[in-house]
Amino acid sequence: MDCKEILALLPAYVDQELGVSESIEVDNHVLGCLSCQNELASQNALRGALKKHATYFKAPNHLENHIRAALPLDNAHSGRSGKPALKWLGPFNWFSFGTAITSVVALTLSVSFYLAIPSPNDLLAEDVVSNHVRSLMVNHIADVTSSDHHTVKPWFNGKLDFSPTVSDLTAQGFPLVGGRLDYLDHRSVAALVYRHRQHLINVYIWPVANKQNIAVKTLSSQGYQLLHWAEGGMVYWVVSDLNPRELLFLALILQAQGSQGSS
């Protein structure tokens, strides 16, 4: 390796992040190269100075108490008083979900089983849930109530700058209840309402500038199940208190309908 290649590896070398054989190459080169030796020394010196002099800010004492008070954690620092923690949202069993899912579905969709780091998407998920809850609570589930997609689809004309795919999925066990306009991600979106047994499902659809497809992701928030994907320039959010397996089934149907083109 020449000096340029060695210099590119030096940061990882001083951080001990290089593989054994690369480390040996750097060792050997540095032994015989004064300029790389200097560069190595300066990088080590900088690291040492940072570790020695940069302030490590410790959390003020009251911060832990504030956090404990805001969470269902015991307020005593011991954390082991007999008092039971508050009941929060109902537990959700991801493991039985995993075993119930058929292998075909598992291959078709990349489902994330573990809750991810809250990203902008997770924050959007919270909005989706609030929206869903509001639509149920104020008894304003639909602006246009019809199980006929030939009625619901034209209703959106002129109200949105795109035309959502609307299908009646009664045959698949998800009758269409209706549609309404809603507001998510700083824009007007189509909300389609489907029903499965006694569960209502909101399907939010809106176009995205970035045409990238996103595989189905599952999330749960505030006791609700959410699915999210993007396909054909449209982003989809599905939310319900329905169990995730059946919700995923709906997602598969919607994806199949979407790829057949709107009806």
Partner 1 sequence: MAATEAMKARRFEEIVLPHLNMAYNLARWLSRSDQDAQDIVQEAYLRAYKFFDGCHGEDARAWLLAIVRNTTYTWLQQNREHVKNTPFDEEVHGLDSEGSATLINQADNNPEAILARNDDKRQINQSLEQLPLEFREILVLRELENLSYKEIAIVAGIPIGTVMSRLARGRKMLLEYLARINEGVK
Q: What's the distance, CA 175 to chain centroid?
A: 27
Report the distance separating Cα 105 and Cα 138, nearest Å. Answer: 36
CB of 55 to partner 1, least distance (A): 6
What are the residue ranges of helices labelled H in the chain?
A: 3-14, 20-31, 34-53, 61-70, 94-100, 103-108, 120-137, 149-155, 244-259
Name which of residues 224 to 243 contact partner 1 (CB under 8 A). none
For residue 221, give Cα distances in angstroms to 91, 205, 218, 232, 254: 11, 19, 10, 26, 22
Within 117-156, the residues that bind Zn ion by CB under 5 A are none
Interaction partner, residue 55 (Zn ion, partner 1, none; CB < 5-8 Å by kind): partner 1
6, 20, 122, 203, 236 from 9: Cα distances, Å:
5, 13, 36, 49, 43
Residue 197: name its binding partner from partner 1, Zn ion, none (Cβ under 5 to 8 Å by kind): none
Minimum Å gap between C-beta 215 and partner 1 is 18
Token output for 222: 């505030």
Stretch that binds Zn ion, among 18-26, 32-40, 85-93, 153-161 (CB under 5 A): 32-40
Instruction: Give min distance, CB of 262 to partner 1, in A.
Output: 35
Residue 36 binding: pick among partner 1, Zn ion, none (C-beta 5-8 Å cut-off by kind) = Zn ion
Q: What is the dihedral of CA 192, 193, 196, 199, to 10 degrees?
A: 140
Task: Determine, following the binding rule CB under 8 A, whether residue 95 of this chain makes contact with partner 1.
Answer: yes
Out of 34, 54, 107, 138, the only residue in the binding site for partner 1 (CB under 8 A) is: 54
Residues that bind partner 1 (CB under 8 A): 4, 7-8, 10-12, 15, 17, 35, 38-39, 41-43, 45-47, 49-51, 53-60, 63-64, 66-67, 70-74, 79, 84-89, 91-95, 114-119, 122-123, 221
